[in-house]
Each structure stands twice: as C-alpha cells, then as structure tokens.
C-alpha cells in the first residue's frame, strides 16, 4: 500500500489515509510518500511499518544512530530538530482539543533542548545474562536490542555503558540482574543494582561485591539534591532550571502542596517561596532523600509525608488528620494557596484530582510528561471550577515523541 503522511499523532505515529483506511505508520515524517506493510488492524485503524520511502519529506533526515528502527528508545530521529519541535507542539494541541475539549488554547512555545544529543543523565539498560546482551527493548517487543553506544546518553553514561559491557564480557555482572539503572551526579555515577568491583588480594583473584548503591548529589538551579539510581529524577539537566521556574512561576504565599514530590525537585524551591510546604511521596527511599535534602538546605518550613498521594488526599478529604503533623493538619484546614503536581506518565488518579479540587487551592500547577493523560486530567480540573491560565512546553526528550508540559490553572 502507498500512503502520504499527513501529520504526526500523539504517540509519535504518522497519520495517512488510503484505500478508505486510516493508516498509522511508525518512524514516518510529515510529507513522506511511502510504501508500507500493514502489521496489524484494530477496528478501523491499520498500523503499518515502512517498506520503502518513495519520496522523502523535506523534513526527513538520515538517522545517525545505527540502531534506529530496532531500538525502542527513539522514534523521532528521522526528522530534523525543528520539525520534531513542531510535531510535539501539534501533539499537545491535538490532545487538548480532542481530550480536554479546550478550543481556545493559549499561545505557547516549546523550549528547545540546549543539546538535542547526548543529553540523558538518567538511563535504564536491559540485561540478558544468558545471551550476554545489554541495551534497550526493541520497539513494541520484549526482544533486546544489544547496544554498544547510544547517541542520546550524556558522556558520563556513555562511559558507564561501555564499562558495563566490558564487565559483562568478563563475566563480572550479576546473573540475577534483569536491568541496570544509572544516574549522573556532580562527581560520580550511581548504578543499581550494585555491580561487582574487582579487588585483588595478594595471591588471590577474589572478587568482592559492592554492598550498597552509591548515593550522589546533583546541583540544579542553586539547590543540591541527594539521590541514587533507584530514585526518579528528570533526565535532561539542561532544561531543569527553566522547568522549575515555569512550574512555580511567581507563586508565593502562606501554603503550598507538592504532590508526587520525589526527592524534592520542586519542594526545595517552593520552601523558599512559601511559609509552609508539604510534599507527598509514596516511595519511601525518594521521600527520605527529600527530607534529607530539605534538612541539608536548612529549610525547616517544609515536611514530606511518605504516603500514597491518593490515600493521603482521601484522609484530608475525610478530615482524618491523625496521621499528619499538627502543623500540616492546621495548614490543610485553611485556604491552600498553591498545589503543584508532577505525576508519573499515567497521570493522576481520579481520586487525586478529586482531592485537589476538594482543597480549593487558589492556583494549580500541573507538570506532565504525557499530553494525553494531562488532557484527561485537565478536563476534570476545568469542570471543577478552574480555568487554564498559561501553558508551556519543554523538549526534555529530544529524538522521541515525548514532551514535558506545564499548565497553570486559576479559579474561574
């Protein structure tokens, strides 16, 4: 089947119509004339892969990565960088119109990454001890693409990947490991799970296992964060200062709530703007780091609750404040000035949105890495009495269809 790609859809697939069918094509560029193979059909939609590029789009470039098309990590390398940004802007608009039913979308721009290559300071590599392969899953499968080098890794992680491969070839990686996570710090790299470090004793070739995962520090926008490879942290340092500034904006006042606070990326700067801040995080290790980071910054006006966000908000909604500190309980019984939420890619649960609406904050800031789940949640927030005040986007993930979006909502 021959098709012409009209535009890029949320999820990164190219849209085409041919022979009375809607066709979605992977790794396409707007304007491509392609011969495609139908891989599967779902309802009235056919999903296809490229067999031959008949006429390349003027937006198309030659992907520099030899694994592109097999590796599932990147799906936008076929387009030049400005075309990637334009496609992401359209993805955001499409989701807001179609899912959130927002017709008058505020003007916005996508802030480009300072470096669209070698930017990732956090990574996860899959490991197969039997086949001795290390890399990323192939697109749409659990097959492993063995990767010797990755064009989007920061140099420190590129070196780490090379080191892991060398250890793999020497038989020094734990057979029980299924993947390795790594994150760059100011002076070192943290890897999880820990790997064996050769320590040769006199007259011996014994190998000693590292007992602990190394903690590192990251200095971002004047704040220092302690974390390790098991903690979530944003992967593109180059855009983090702008992201933090935009997410918080000019907000200040008495009280702020930071939901899904992680190790405290937004909690620390919020504590410098508000008299009292409460962070909520379900992961005990991340929450512990957030508490430590606040203490190291000597910020005594903030606390972190180690609790599932939805459960915590349910307690607040029921006025069950027994598990909260006296100070937080008092704060939550008053008017909340500012709520910031930065949920995972799946978005916020319905009860989280209901809990936020129940607090009736003066302003809401929603940081999202998925325009579709953002739009779904926005629809509920707008129906709950808020209006969209501003919208911004950041290209935290160049060479992929993913994009970070920040929206501010105010009482209608």
SS3 sequence of 252-282 = CEEEEEEECCCCCCCHHHHHCCEEEEEEEEC
Distance CA(29)–CA(5), nearest Å, equals: 7
Phi-psi map region of 322: left, alpha, beta (phi>0 left; psi -120 to 50 alpha): alpha
Q: Residue 68: which of 400, 403, 395, 402 has the closest Cα?
A: 400
Element housing 340 (H / E): strand 338-341
Instruction: Check 65, 71, 95, 369 and give the catalytic one.
Output: 369
Distance CA(341)–CA(281), nearest Å, equals: 11
Q: Residue 311, SS3? A: helix
Rounded to 5°, angle at Cα 240 from 235 and 246: 135
Tell me whether residue 369 is one of the annotated catalytic residues.
yes
From start to end of 171-282, where are the E strands?
179-184, 189-192, 196-198, 207-209, 216-220, 223-227, 253-259, 274-281
For the CA atoms of 259, 265, 270, 272, the dihedral, rounded to the nearest 10 degrees, stands at 150
Tokens of 255: 């009280």
Distance CA(253)–CA(256), nearest Å, equals: 8
Residues annotated as catalytic (active site), given as ranges: 369
């Amino acid at each position: 089947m021959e098709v012409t790609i009209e535009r890029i859809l949320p999820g990164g697939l190219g849209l085409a119509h041919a022979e009375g069918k809607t066709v979605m094509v992977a790794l396409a560029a707007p304007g491509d004339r392609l011969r495609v193979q139908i891989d599967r059909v779902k309802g009235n939609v056919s999903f296809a892969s490229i067999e031959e590029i008949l006429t390349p789009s003027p937006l198309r470039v030659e992907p520099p990565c030899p694994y592109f098309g097999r590796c599932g990590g990147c799906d936008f390398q076929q387009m030049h960088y400005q075309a990637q940004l334009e496609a992401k802007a359209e993805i955001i608009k499409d989701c807001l119109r179609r899912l959130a039913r927002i017709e008058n979308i505020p003007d916005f721009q996508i802030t480009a990454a300072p470096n669209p290559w070698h930017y990732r300071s956090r990574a996860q590599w899959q490991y197969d001890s039997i086949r001795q392969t290390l890399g990323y899953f192939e697109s749409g499968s659990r097959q492993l693409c063995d990767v010797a080098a990755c064009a989007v890794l920061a140099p420190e992680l590129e070196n780490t990947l090379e080191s892991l491969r060398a250890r793999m070839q020497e038989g020094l990686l734990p057979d029980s490991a299924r993947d390795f996570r790594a994150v760059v710090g100011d002076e070192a790299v943290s890897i999880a799970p820990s790997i064996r470090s050769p320590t040769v004793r006199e007259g011996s070739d014994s190998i000693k296992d590292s007992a602990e995962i190394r903690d590192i520090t990251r200095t971002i926008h004047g704040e220092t964060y302690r974390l390790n490879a098991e903690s979530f942290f944003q992967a593109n340092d180059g855009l983090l200062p702008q992201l933090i500034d935009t997410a918080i904006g000019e907000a200040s006042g008495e009280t702020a709530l930071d939901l899904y606070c992680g190790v405290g990326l937004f909690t620390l700067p919020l504590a410098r703007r508000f008299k009292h801040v409460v962070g909520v995080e379900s992961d005990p290790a991340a929450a512990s780091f957030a508490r430590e980071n606040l203490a190291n910054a000597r910020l005594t006006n903030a606390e972190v609750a180690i609790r599932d966000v939805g459960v915590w908000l349910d307690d607040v909604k029921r006025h069950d404040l027994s598990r909260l500190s006296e100070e937080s309980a008092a704060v939550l019984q008053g008017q909340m000035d500012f709520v910031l939420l930065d949920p995972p890619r799946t978005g916020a649960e319905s009860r989280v949105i209901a809990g936020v609406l129940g607090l009736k904050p003066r302003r809401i800031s929603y940081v999202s890495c998925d325009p579709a789940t953002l739009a779904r949640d926005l629809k509920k927030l707008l129906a709950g009495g808020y209006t969209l005040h501003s919208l911004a986007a950041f290209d935290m993930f160049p060479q992929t269809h993913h994009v970070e979006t920040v929206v501010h909502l105010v009482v209608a």
